[in-house]
Structure formats: C-alpha cells, structure tokens
Structure 1
C-alpha cells in the first residue's frame, strides 16, 4: 500500500474565502489544497482531492476507492449532521479515516452539534481552521 491519501471536502466548501470568513477563515479551497500539497512533500505521501456538493458523488468516490489508498481525510460539511449513508460508506472502509471541521461544530447552532460521521472515523479534528487539515495529514501518516 502506498502512502496515498484522499482529501474529501463536502457541500459548500468550494465557497471558502467567500462565506462567513469569521467562521471559516479567509482562505480558498485551492489555498488549503496547496498547503496540504506542500506538507505532503515533507511527509512523503501523495494526495488526491475531491470536492462535491452532491452526497451521492461523495459516497460513490469513497465506495470506489481501490487498495492503493492508505487513508481518507474528510470534511463532510453539512452532511456531518444528516448523512447516515455517508456514515455507512465510511464505516465499510478499513483504511484510516479522519473527520476534520474548520469550525468548532460544538460551539455553533444546536443542529450542528451532532456528527453522524465521527463514529465511522478513527478520530476527529475540530475547530482548528485550516491547521486542522495539516494536523490530520501528519497524524494519519504517523498512524498508517
């Protein structure tokens, strides 16, 4: 197995830099991906990026992963709180999985305080902004 990691960003994350900067920061999804690519060079891993606003596309991507992938880092966006199907798709995979959220979902609106995804992942990193993705990548590489 290669050190190949899939980074998934769910609904509305393509709007980073344009949406609630006080909550999500003033960087774009491309900025985040570029920082992760730099970190991946240091860690000696390969990254693939996937973003979709469509739940079924995300599930199909996860279900279609081949054995070359060592792990998944996922920010499911609003699907965090609603998608049993995404939970089930992640639960099936035996590779290392980390849920990441830019904001602290537990300090936000009541409906955002429950993650259906966390139980299907090995760990969660929440509320650390884009640094959370860097920490997730480092932790994943350390633990595969």
Structure 2
C-alpha cells in the first residue's frame, strides 16, 4: 500500500505568489503543490495537499492524518508562533512531522523565532523557499523508510 503524507498549509499561504514575494517568493501554492506531486511520484508516496486560514480546521486535518497518513509536512505559517492547539494535535497523533517555512524565521522579527511546532517535529526546514517543501518530502520519506527497516 502506498504511504500517504499530508502536506498542511496555514493562514495566508493561499496568497503565495502575490503576498510579499521578496519574503515568500514568486511561486504560488498551486506551484508548490505541483512540485510536491512530482516529488511524491518519484518517491512512490501519495500526498494530501491542504490549506486553511482556520486553526481548528488545521487541527482537524492533523487528527485526520493521524488516522490516514504515515507523516505530515506542516507549514503552520503564523500559527507556528501562537498555537498550542496545533502543538497538542501533533503530539496527540504521534506521527513524524517536518515543519517547513518558506522564509528563514530566525532572520525575521523576534516573535517569529519561536515555534510551538518545532519541539514536536522530527525536523525543521526554513529559508529555502518553495524548494523547502520538496526537501521536507524527501526527508520525511527517508525517515519513514529508515523507520520501516528498524
């Protein structure tokens, strides 16, 4: 059976390509999804690619992933810095999670330096733009393959 990986995207990421391209790049969320679909095919996994501006919906999807998926790639966007609820959801499902940020959050405003997701993620990729999603997908697939061997 093909492994399913959820790719979850938080608030305002639906505006990628238009919103502050100097920070977030010119690639749209649809373009990132296409990149992920191509990499997923190469890796032999399938993805569920979702975006919401609503914290509760993201919590629901994390919980759904807990029932349906092998892992999660998660760009919680601004919720990274504010959401204990998302951290609790990730902790509850006990799936491997790779946190992704398009920009380098450590080079930005100080309030962006802390993430509630990082402590419950197996890794964090930030500052690589849209390619960060591809790197996260490859890293998570590798993690899942190594775990299956153990």
Classify the TM-score, shorter chain.
Answer: over 0.9
- Where do 1:104-119 residues align within 5 Å? 104-119=104-119
Specify the SS of the correspondent of 1:7.
strand
* 4+ residue segments displaced more than 4 Å: none
Provide the alpha-carbon RMSD of the alignment.
1.1
Consecutive unaligned residues of structure 1, counting only runs of 5 or more, are: none
- Counterpart residue number, 2:29: 29
Measured after TM superposition, the shift of residue 64 of structure 1 is 2.5
The structure that is helix-richer by fraction is: 2
Q: Is the 8 A contact 1:2 1:70 kept in 2?
A: no
Q: Is the 8 A contact 2:72 2:95 kept in 1?
A: yes
Count of matched residue positions in the alignment of Structure 1 and Structure 2: 144
Tell me how far apart the structure 1 counterparts of residues 80 and 68 of structure 2 sit (CA, whole Å). Answer: 26
**What TM-score do you get using the length of structure 2 for normalisation?**
0.92
**What TM-score do you get using the length of structure 1 for normalisation?**
0.96
Tell me how far apart the structure 1 counterparts of residues 57 and 24 of structure 2 sit (CA, whole Å). Answer: 24
Consecutive unaligned residues of structure 2, counting only runs of 5 or more, are: 145-150
Specify the SS of the correspondent of 1:115.
coil
- Counterpart residue number, 2:138: 138
